[in-house]
């Protein structure tokens, strides 16, 4: 029954759940270490959790469909206006809304090789043509992306930092790129991992949306704020773009608990500082471990790191047998690599030990 464009969609395969793996291995859930989905090993912002507890009596009511309070907090914290904002059920929803609002079957949209899988998914669901632009190495090649823009191209997706490579494009390069993109092509800048950047590399992109009405930023509460299970993200754009996205959005796409938790989390600067500190120490620990094992890795600015292990499917299975779940990324054109999410120091140590054994066979 489904049209060809929908049948052609490769399903998004999420990380293996802990409970399922525990059952398969006959282990307690507590014996499983999941470092596969770029979740926050510190848990959730405690302010968000407290806010959720206080909101449990309100569940008989519809959520605030306009996200009035959360938009107020985002506006205050990031110096934008509520009219610049669109809230999403996770930032995947924001990405999908851009495609739904601005693409038709007659258009094409571009993303980079080794780019996030949801981009082609969102494009193909519309029936538009998804164009994957090759890269030289693992970094997004913005010159190649620019060269790939055709008359029918209406949208470009760029993640910074990128998943699954963790690579970072200097903001000035991205800005130069945006200034060269035709104004009828929307540039979606996906900043899912932006909070992990050190202050000197922090994104200046909110200040771009007034100057470049064809820019949409996509952000999430799933990573550094530790709220992946609630599903909340937001887009920042010129008011006209935000308005169109809000029209195609489901009226109550973000649930009440997610709204109140996100509002509290965004002001939990302490938690973000802790997440960032744990992450940079963890990246250093993992890099040192990879060097000791003689493994090549892609230097990362995100909360995960991608390492070349040879036959990654085999190493993945061996790690899994030891109760350690990481992410194979063959689906991203990287069959020799595994992506591992930064954990607590003891998680990283256990993973490195398991990896050493898995590599020996």
Which residues form the interface with ligand PMP (CB under 6 A)? 38, 90-92, 116, 159, 163, 190, 192, 220, 222, 228, 233
Q: Which residues of 267-304 are buried (b: 16+ CB within 10 A; e: fewer)?
A: ebeebbeebbebbeebbebbbebbeeeebebbebbbbb
Residue recorded with tokens 């293996």:
16
DSSP per-residue string spanning 202-222: ---GGGGTTT-TTEEEEEESS
Tell me the C-alpha to C-alpha distance, in Å, between residue 239 and each of 82, 295, 307.
Answer: 9, 47, 41
Residue 334 CB, nearest approach to ligand PMP (Å): 14
Q: Which is nearer to ligand PMP, 88 or 289 (CB)?
A: 88
Contact 267, 77 (CB under 8 A): yes
Calpha distance 115→301 (Å, rounded) = 15
Q: Which is nearer to ligand PMP, 182 or 229 (CB)?
A: 229
Tell me the C-alpha to C-alpha distance, in Å, between residue 18 and each of 122, 127, 326.
Answer: 27, 35, 11
Q: Which is nearer to ligand PMP, 45 or 91 (CB)?
A: 91
Residue 151 CB, nearest approach to ligand PMP (Å): 28
Residue 3 CB, nearest approach to ligand PMP (Å): 25
Residue 115 CB, nearest approach to ligand PMP (Å): 8
Q: Which is nearer to ligand PMP, 305 or 358 (CB)?
A: 305
Calpha distance 263→159 (Å, rounded) = 24
Cβ-count burial of 160 within 10 angstroms (0-12 exposed, 13-18 middle, 19+ buried)? buried
Residue 342 CB, nearest approach to ligand PMP (Å): 14
The phi and psi torsions of 322 (rounded to 5 degrees) equal -95, 10
Residue nearest to ligand PMP (CB): 90
Q: Which is nearer to ligand PMP, 246 or 253 (CB)?
A: 253
Residue 236 CB, nearest approach to ligand PMP (Å): 14
Q: Which is nearer to ligand PMP, 41 or 233 (CB)?
A: 233
């Amino acid at each position: 029954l489904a049209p060809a464009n929908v049948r052609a969609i490769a399903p998004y395969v999420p990380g293996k759940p802990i409970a399922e793996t525990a059952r398969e291995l006959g282990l307690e859930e507590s014996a499983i270490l999941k470092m596969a989905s770029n979740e926050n090993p510190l848990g959730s912002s405690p302010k968000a959790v407290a806010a959720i507890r206080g909101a449990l009596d309100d569940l008989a009511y519809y959520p605030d469909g306009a996200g009035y309070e959360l938009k107020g907090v985002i506006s205050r914290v990031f110096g934008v206006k509520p009219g610049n904002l669109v809230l999403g059920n996770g930032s995947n929803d924001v990405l999908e809304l851009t495609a739904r609002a601005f693409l038709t079957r007659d258009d094409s949209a571009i993303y980079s090789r080794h780019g996030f899988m949801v981009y082609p998914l969102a494009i193909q669901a519309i029936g538009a043509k998804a164009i994957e632009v090759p890269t030289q190495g693992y970094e997004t090649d913005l010159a190649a992306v620019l060269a790939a823009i055709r008359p029918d191209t209406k949208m470009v997706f760029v993640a910074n930092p990128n998943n699954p490579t963790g690579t970072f494009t200097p903001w000035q390069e991205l800005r130069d790129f945006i200034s060269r993109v035709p104004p009828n092509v929307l540039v979606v800048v996906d900043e899912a991992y932006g909070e992990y950047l050190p202050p000197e590399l922090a994104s200046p992109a909110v200040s771009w949306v007034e100057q470049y009405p064809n820019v949409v930023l996509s952000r999430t509460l799933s990573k550094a704020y530790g709220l992946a299970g609630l599903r909340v993200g937001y887009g920042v754009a010129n008011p006209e773009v935000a308005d169109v996205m809000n029209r195609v959005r489901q009226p109550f796409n973000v649930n009440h608990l997610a709204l109140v938790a996100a509002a509290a989390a965004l002001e939990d600067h302490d938690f973000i500082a802790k997440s960032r500190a744990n992450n940079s120490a963890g990246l250093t620990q993992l890099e040192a471990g990879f060097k000791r094992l003689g493994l090549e890795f892609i230097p990362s600015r995100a909360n995960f790191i991608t390492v070349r292990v040879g036959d990654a499917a085999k190493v993945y299975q061996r790690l899994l047998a030891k109760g350690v779940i990481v992410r194979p990324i063959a689906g991203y054109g990287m069959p020799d690599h595994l992506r591992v999410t930064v954990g607590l120091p003891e998680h990283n140590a256990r993973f490195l030990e398991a990896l050493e054994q898995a590599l020996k066979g």
